[in-house]
Amino acid sequence: MTKIAEEFLVKADEKAFDVDHRNTINHNIGKYNDAVARGLTKFENLENSKKKAHVIKWRVMENLDKFLPEFETNFQRRGGKVIWANDAEEAQKEILNIINKSGGKSVIKSKSMTTEEIHLNDFLEKNGISSLESDLGEFIVQLLGQAPYHIVTPAMHLTKEDIAKLFHEKFGTPIDYTPEQLTQKARELLREKYLSADIGITGGNFLIADTGSIALTENEGNARLSTTFPKIHIAIVGIEKIIPSMADLDLFWPLLSSHGTGQNLTVYNSILSGPRQPNETDGPEEMYVILLDNGRTNLLAQKDQRQGLYCIRCGACLNACPVYKNIGGHTYNTTYSGPIGSIITPHLQGMKEFKHLSYASSLCGKCSEVCPVKIDIHKMLLLNRRDAVEQHQNTKTEDIGWKIWNTGMSKRSKMDLFGGKIKNFLMKLIFKKMWGKYRAMPEVAPKSFAKQWEEKSKNKPQT
């Protein structure tokens, strides 16, 4: 077992029995569930919308080599610059080059999972560049020195009392500040940063091929401020975020907002097609889009599993997952947590280190049921398990154990080879540590049902 897998088990064990954490998450996800249930009623035929989105994303993934160059051509036509980054290191290097070339020293960021994926804040800090998160949830976890807890709501694990205490310690605000007052304080702190930052960095919810645009969707307006005031705007977007046409936003924006927050549409929806044009009053002087691979083509090469790239990052599967709700987002130790993270991370970061995530599931299928683009998530988890076995990523102990189990289950006579006493002894000796920490181990009957039936039949009087 790798060190990462061992840490996962330790953290999962800790969080699953943390009552305060459980109460906070159940409360916050409960509010989400109520909002989403209302939001989904606005669709005339939700199932058809999800099927249509699935087909569009299927068409994109099967023709990624056509749609990405189309986006690049159209974006460059309006003065934008496209950079292709094979991995996190390349993306970091390109961003640093842009900043250094402009003489920039400060960055303002809107919420972006791709920047988390390439650990951009830490990298910039090491190179003497300040990078500030402007999304309120991201700002809070940045102050705490933590990674985002959730794809959509980074500070979901914190209560309003936790945040009031944090602001009291960092900024001297009263300990009893309300959420509205805390938000106002954050707004005061951030506003001057938008005006003084040299570079604005965002992600991108969608790349639109036919117009060469990026689409941003948000609720706080910080992405608009991060892309309007700084002279340079850099958008870091995964290559899978492409959609064929501007018209497709009519489908994807409502699906994303309704499954992400329960809204009909998020508050701010922006379409950016390059730097400021001569007839425009605001916007950056330069705009770059970094198209990030970072393992995505590894997943694209897996015909059975490439639908993991259909994900629009709504977070619905995290909120539905009983495992996520028990062990929390930080336990996964990955950028993308929950069910979607469990299926894509082994391909993005390595099967050997992250195969354990595909076993962190009850296979209840709720994740597949709620997915707005109909990714068959629980099937992907099984396929990852299959791949781990075929690639010999399991430990010798695990391989030997499954061989013994397979041999024993192949014939009734082999199953009955050891009596109940021996089986109970082995259960306590081998499985007590793995399965019996928080539950009583089952008692195996002295004789199997088949043996008992055989004896009963022999002793039955003839009629």
pLDDT of residue 462: 65
Would residue 252 count as lying in a domain?
yes
Would residue 390 count as lying in a domain?
no
pLDDT of residue 458: 84
Would residue 170 count as lying in a domain?
yes
Cβ atoms of 404 and 398 closer than 8 Å:
no
3-state secondary structure of 216: strand
Look up the CATH number of the domain holding residue 222: 3.40.50.10420
Would residue 32 count as lying in a domain?
no
Would residue 422 count as lying in a domain?
yes
Do 114 and 258 lie in a common domain? yes
Would residue 411 count as lying in a domain?
yes
The last residue of one of the domains, among 269, 294, 319, is: 294
The last residue of one of the domains, among 271, 294, 317, is: 294
Measured from the Cβ of residue 173, the count of other Cβ atoms closer than 10 Å reads 17
Nearest Cα to Cα of residue 309 among 135, 60, 47, 136: 60
pLDDT of residue 431: 78
Do 426 and 278 lie in a common domain? no
Would residue 316 count as lying in a domain?
no
Do 278 and 408 lie in a common domain? no
Q: Give dist(CA 151, CA 315) in Å, integer.
A: 6
Measured from the Cβ of residue 159, the count of other Cβ atoms closer than 10 Å reads 14
Do 405 and 290 lie in a common domain? no
Q: Give dist(CA 145, CA 38) in Å, integer.
A: 35
The last residue of one of the domains, among 228, 260, 294, is: 294
* ∠ Cα 339 294 89 (to 5°): 130
Q: How many domains does the chain have?
A: 2
pLDDT of residue 456: 87
Which 8-state DSSP code applies to residue 189? Answer: H
- Domain boundaries, position 402: 396-459
Question: Along the 463 residues of the chain, how does pLDDT read in single tens digits?
Answer: 789 999 999 999 999 999 999 999 999 999 999 999 999 999 999 999 999 999 999 999 999 999 999 999 999 999 999 999 999 999 999 999 999 999 999 999 999 999 999 999 999 999 999 999 999 999 999 999 999 999 999 999 999 999 999 999 999 999 999 999 999 999 999 988 998 999 999 999 999 999 999 999 999 999 999 999 999 999 999 999 999 999 999 999 999 999 999 999 999 999 999 999 999 888 999 999 999 999 999 999 999 999 999 999 999 999 999 999 999 999 999 999 999 999 999 999 999 999 999 999 999 999 999 999 999 999 999 999 999 988 888 888 888 888 888 888 888 777 777 777 888 888 887 777 777 778 888 888 888 888 888 888 887 776 5
Would residue 141 count as lying in a domain?
yes
